[in-house]
Structure 1
Amino acid sequence: MPDRPTHVLLDLDGTLTDSAPGIMACLRTAFTETGIPVPDDARLRRFVGPPLGLSLARLGLTHDQAEAVVTVYRRELEAGGMYDNAVFDGVPGLLAALRAAGTTLVVATAKPQPLARPIVEHFGLHRYLSAGLDSVFGPAMEGAGEHTGKEKVVARALAASGGDQAGAAAVMVGDREHDVHAAAANGIPAIGVAWGYGEPGELEEAGVAAVAGTPEELRGLLLG
């Protein structure tokens, strides 16, 4: 891991914001309306972070069932569920400190970009990003049977921000294993955050370089 990263890629759900309440509520409505048994809260919580299509595939739903769930879920999100959300304590101060130190900050999320950007703007987090809302990267809206791997999102974020250029030292920050794997696929290390939605040991098993217990601890890892 670089001693002092020049570029920091930040996951959104579970890293910058506590989005589980809204996501889980929208999923409950989606499963209920489509007549599919609602998973328990522990299972629903695992939906937060990874691509939705991947999580639905793991439930063993048919393509038509998954498409129906996605349709209702996105309707509920766009109706306001995506704002049933909150910025984790300490995150604004962390981002301000990183920007003050000259760090290039971008968001790289598995949440569809058309949803991620309004959320970042709603909570005022774009003011800390190097190119404002243009520094928020996510996949396009996809059907239930599709899911863009997060490694592609990370690659786009690196290329657009200059994090893949000679002399740059980039790191991915996230709360789930797919953040770590996406970073590795692009040849950069990952730092995990313990306040997100990962299962015990998930980040370590994925090969994370370090895990921060608090935003203040993460600031120390990134700024030294």
Structure 2
Amino acid sequence: MSLQNPEVARSWSCVLFDLDGTLTDSAPGITHSLQQTFAEIGRPIHSEDELLAYVGPPLATTLREREDFTEAEALQALEVYRGFAEESDLVDNAVFPGVIGLLQTLKADGVPVALATSKPLSRARRVLDHFKLTDYFTFIGGASEDESRADKAEVVAYALAGLVEQGVDVSRPVMVGDRFYDVEGANANDVPTIMVEWGYGSPAEAKGAIAVVHSVDQLRSLLVGQAVAA
């Protein structure tokens, strides 16, 4: 465990979680759906390793930045992708080991939990429902279907507002994610971030995070104060 800030040990009033690469190992389904999408629209097909960079940020934005798509081309590709992802979201996906136990611990300790993902809200809900995770969340925040709300900072703000509407104290929130998009989006809302190493980001993406953990047990110790075995 790497700590960048002693405040990491404080008591959190609520926890925000990213989805892809943090709670679920969704990369196989996402990269395969992207390969199908590029084949369908007649674009060069990238390897799965190359497509890992697409996991996390809003897809339309990534297509414009990495593939030089126009706005119209990106939205068209997004619609094609969603058709393929409808199945892969559930079939080529899995909850990371230990995550369910962590969510159970947070719920038992009365710590409110929100989802803050750039995945469209309807798909995020479908994934949580499929893996029976929905009941652990006080609020589920995601991108809007038209991606007018897709930037991580916007999603984090949306999740915080949703928690407030539920009567949750958001004075000491913390974000848990695996990409620098999570760190940047949380920091834009004055929310500290704990990075998980089991996701799809590189070590360099942890810049600005208050801690980096390589196991769910380490993450649990920072969220609820339970000791980690040596």
Asked if TM exceeds 0.5, the reply is: yes
- 1 CA distance for matches of 2:185 and 2:71? 26
1:50 aligns with 2:51: no
- Paired residues of 1:53 and 1:147 also in contact (CA < 8 A): no
TM-score for the superposition, normalised by structure 2: 0.88
- 1 CA distance for matches of 2:170 and 2:142? 25
Corresponding position of 2:30: 23
Corresponding position of 1:123: 131
When residues 167 and 68 of structure 1 are mapped into structure 2, their CA distance, relative to the original with a 3 A threshold, is closer
Corresponding position of 1:102: 110
CA deviation map 1:76-117 (0-9, x unaligned): 112x11112000000001111111111001100000101111
Q: Which stretches in structure 1 are left out of the alignment for 5+ residues? A: none
Corresponding position of 1:180: 183
Secondary structure of the 1:87 match is coil
C-alpha displacement of 1:41: 2.0
Secondary structure of the 1:109 match is strand
TM-score for the superposition, normalised by structure 1: 0.90
* Cα RMSD for the two superposed structures: 1.9
Corresponding position of 1:63: 71
1:189 aligns with 2:192: yes
Corresponding position of 1:5: 12
- 1 CA distance for matches of 2:179 and 2:167? 22
Corresponding position of 2:218: 217
Corresponding position of 1:150: 152
When residues 95 and 40 of structure 1 are mapped into structure 2, their CA distance, relative to the original with a 3 A threshold, is same
- 1 CA distance for matches of 2:185 and 2:51? 22
Secondary structure of the 1:201 match is helix
C-alpha displacement of 1:139: 1.4
When residues 10 and 120 of structure 1 are mapped into structure 2, their CA distance, relative to the original with a 3 A threshold, is same
Corresponding position of 2:80: 72
CA deviation map 1:149-190 (0-9, x unaligned): 111111111122139977731001000001111111111101
1:200 aligns with 2:167: no
1:114 aligns with 2:145: no
- 2 CA distance for matches of 1:159 and 1:63? 29
C-alpha displacement of 1:6: 1.3
Residue among 140, 143, 151 paired with 2:144: 140
When residues 88 and 166 of structure 1 are mapped into structure 2, their CA distance, relative to the original with a 3 A threshold, is closer
Q: Which stretches in structure 2 are left out of the alignment for 5+ residues? A: 1-6, 226-230
When residues 61 and 197 of structure 1 are mapped into structure 2, their CA distance, relative to the original with a 3 A threshold, is same
- 1 CA distance for matches of 2:167 and 2:65? 33
- 2 CA distance for matches of 1:64 and 1:165? 39
Aligned residues between the structures: 215
